[in-house]
């Protein structure tokens, strides 16, 4: 099963240094039955893109708690065995939990398939989205528009071998 784990660049650096994300439990996003029903599509690529976008939104929330982190959304795509990522059945209809799964233990970086990260030109919009999250959560339509503006930026795809360069441990 492909899962999408929301991160920040500092959290990615920690995982790179440790060789794993963890300890668990970890929150990730995947193509769950509730996400399939919400998105109304049988196209697995579209469904995985929806799960990736859910993880990108969760990355914004992580950034809100890390004021010193670069304002770039980070999502790690990884493959885990079926059953290793479990959706909470009590939150299946909760719109805020669509696609959300829990991974009980640490996730070795060797299971990572790719990393998705905003480009530098997204930082201004991502910073504005982080600042607007609270108001958007309370129903402010203008703030929600700002949060949605971060989604106008496509996350860039990076191979796992490029993680050292992303976190500043690679060659200059």
Name the residue with tokens 């599509």: 41
Contact 156, 118 (CB under 8 A): yes
Looking at residue 172, its pLDDT comes to: 45
Nearest to 117 by CA among 170, 153, 65, 141: 153
pLDDT class of 35 with cuts at 50, 70, 90: confident
Looking at residue 125, its pLDDT comes to: 95
Is pTM beyond 0.85? Reply is: yes
Q: In the predicted model, is pLDDT for residue 38 greater than 90? A: no
| 134 three-state secondary structure | helix
Q: In the predicted model, is pLDDT for residue 36 greater than 60? A: yes
């Amino acid at each position: 099963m492909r899962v999408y784990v929301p991160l920040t660049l500092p959290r990615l650096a920690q995982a790179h240094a440790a060789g794993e994300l963890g300890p668990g439990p970890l929150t990730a996003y995947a193509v769950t039955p509730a996400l399939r029903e919400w998105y109304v599509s049988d196209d697995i690529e579209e469904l995985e893109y929806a799960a990736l976008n859910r993880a990108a939104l969760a990355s914004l929330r992580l950034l809100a708690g890390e004021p010193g982190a670069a304002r770039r959304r980070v999502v790690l795509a990884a493959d885990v065995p079926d059953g290793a990522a479990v959706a909470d059945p009590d939150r299946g209809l909760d719109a805020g939990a669509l696609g959300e799964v829990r991974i009980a233990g640490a996730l070795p970086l060797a299971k990572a398939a790719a990393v998705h990260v905003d480009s530098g030109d997204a930082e201004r919009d991502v910073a504005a989205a982080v600042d607007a999250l609270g108001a958007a959560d309370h129903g402010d339509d203008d703030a929600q528009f700002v949060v949605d503006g971060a989604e106008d930026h496509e996350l860039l795809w990076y191979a796992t071998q490029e993680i050292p360069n992303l976190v500043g441990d690679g060659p200059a």
